Amino acid sequence: MLEKSKVSEINVVNPSIKEPVRSWFNVSLMSVSHFMSDFYTAFLPVLLPILAARYDISYTQSATIYMIFTVAMNFAQPPIGILADRKNLNYLLPLSILTGALFASAATLSPNLWGIILIVLLCGICSSGFHPVSAAVLTKVIPENNKGLGTSIYIAGGNIGFAIAPLCVASFIESFGENYLLAMAIPAIITTVLIYKQRLQNAQTVAATPKDGPKFSTLITSKQFLILNSAIALRSWTYCSFVVFLPMLFNAKGYDSISGASCLVVMLLGCVAGGLVGGALTDKFGPKKVTLGSFVVSLIGSITFLNYCDTSFISLLALFLCGAGAYGSTPNAIVWAQRLLPNSSAFAASMMLGFTFGAGYIESVLTGYLGDIIGLDKAMLYTACVAMAAAFFLLLPLKEPADTKNKTN
C-alpha cells in the first residue's frame, strides 16, 4: 500500500487524478449522496409498527431495537472520523450507502426477533462510515465564505431523504407487501455507481503527515466542545423520540400506517426547512444565537403538537415547527464544532452527526419506558420539555468561537 506522504505526489504527477474543486455543483453532489444515505436509515420507524404487531413488541422493546441500530451507526462515527482525519477513507461513501441500503431493505425478511436485531445491527455498522467521511470531503468542496449555507445544503439532502423515506416505504408496502421491500435497494445500487464515477474519493482530507492528525486526548478535553456535545445530545432526545415513536403514536390513536408515516414526513420536512434556514442564518448571526433560537422553536412546537396530537392544521404546523427547531441547530452545531476543532473537521462533524444522535436514541428508551407507564403522548411531552430546557441553559453561557480558519485564508 502506498504511503500517505506519496499520495500528494501522485496527485500532482498523474493528471487523471484530480481533487474536486470548491463549487456549488460538488456541494449539490454531496447533498445527493447524503440523501441516499439517510433515505435508507429512515426505514425502521415505519417498519417498527409492523414488526411490533408481528412479534408483540412493547414501546420499550421497540425503542431498544432502534437504539441498537443507532448506537451501532452513530457511536462508530467518531472513531471513523479520527481515522478519516489521518487516512483517506473516502471509498466508504459509496460502500456505506450500498451495504446500508441492502440491510435496511431486508429487515422484514427476518424470521424472528433475533434476526431483526442482527439485521439492524449490521445496517447500523454499514451506515456508520458515511457521515464522518462525507463531512471531511465537504470541507474541501464548499466555497470558503459560505460554509453555513453549504453545510445546510448538504444537511438538507439527508433530511429530504430521511423525510420522504417513511412515506415511500409505507406506500410500497401497501402496494406490494413487505416481502418485496428488498427491491427498494435498487436506487442505492445505481447511486453508488454514479457517486464512485465522480471520484470524490480523491479529495485530500488527511493531514500532511500522520503527526498532524488529531490526538484523541486533546479532542475529548476541550471543555467547550464537550458542553456543545452535551447540549446537542439533549436536543437529540426530542428529535429521536419523535422519529421513533410518531408512527406508533398515531397507530395507537387509531390512524393507519400511511397517516402515521405522513405526519412523520411533515416533521422531517420541517427538519429540511430548519436546516436550510438555520445554516443561512449562521453565516449572518453566528451559530450560538441561531442554535438557541432553534431550541425555543422546537420546544414550542413540541408542546403544541402533543396537546393536540391529531391531523388538524394546527397540529401539523406545530409538528413542522418541532422538526424545524430540532434539526435547525444541526448545521450550526457542525460549524461551531469545526471552529472549536479546526484541524479535526471529520471528528467534529462525526460527533455532531453521530454521537449526539446516538445519545438521543439511547435517551428515547426512557421515553418508551415512560410511555408504557403513563402513555406515549405524555411521555414524549414531559421528556421534550426537560431535554430542550436543559439543552438551552447548558449552551447559554458558552462562548462562541471565532472563525479563525476563514480569517487565515
Q: What is the pLDDT of residue 18?
A: 62
Largest pairwise CA distance in the chain:
67
Helix ranges restricted to H, 75-208: 77-84, 92-105, 113-127, 130-138, 147-176, 186-197
The share of the chain scoring above pLDDT 70, in percent, equals: 85
Q: What is the pLDDT of residue 206?
A: 52
Q: What is the pLDDT of residue 33?
A: 85
Region at 403 (left for phi over 0; alpha for psi -120 to 50; beta for the rest): beta
Segment 198-231, tens digit of pLDDT: 665 555 555 544 445 555 555 555 788 889 989 9
407 or 356, greater pLDDT = 356
> What is the residue extent of each domain of the chain?
23-402
Q: What is the pLDDT of residue 232?
A: 92
396 or 143, greater pLDDT = 396
Q: What is the pLDDT of residue 293?
A: 92
Q: Is the pLDDT of residue 8 over 50?
A: no
Segment 88-147, tens digit of pLDDT: 777 777 888 899 999 999 888 888 888 889 999 999 998 888 887 887 777 777 777 677
Provide the terminal-to-terminal Cα distance of the chain, rounded to the nearest Å. 33
Q: What is the pLDDT of residue 24?
A: 74
Q: Which three cell numbers stand for residue 277?
A: 434556514
406 or 230, greater pLDDT = 230
Segment 22-34, tens digit of pLDDT: 667 778 878 888 9
Segment 360-389, tens digit of pLDDT: 888 888 998 999 899 999 999 999 999 999
Fold of 23-402: Growth Hormone; Chain: A; (1.20.1250)
Q: Residue 8 is which amino acid?
A: S
Helix ranges restricted to H, 309-350: 313-328, 330-340, 345-350
Segment 143-179, tens digit of pLDDT: 776 777 787 788 788 878 887 888 888 889 888 888 8
Q: What is the pLDDT of residue 201?
A: 52
Element (H, E) at 347: helix 345-350
Confidence band, pLDDT 50/70/90 cuts, at residue 42: confident
Confidence band, pLDDT 50/70/90 cuts, at residue 60: confident
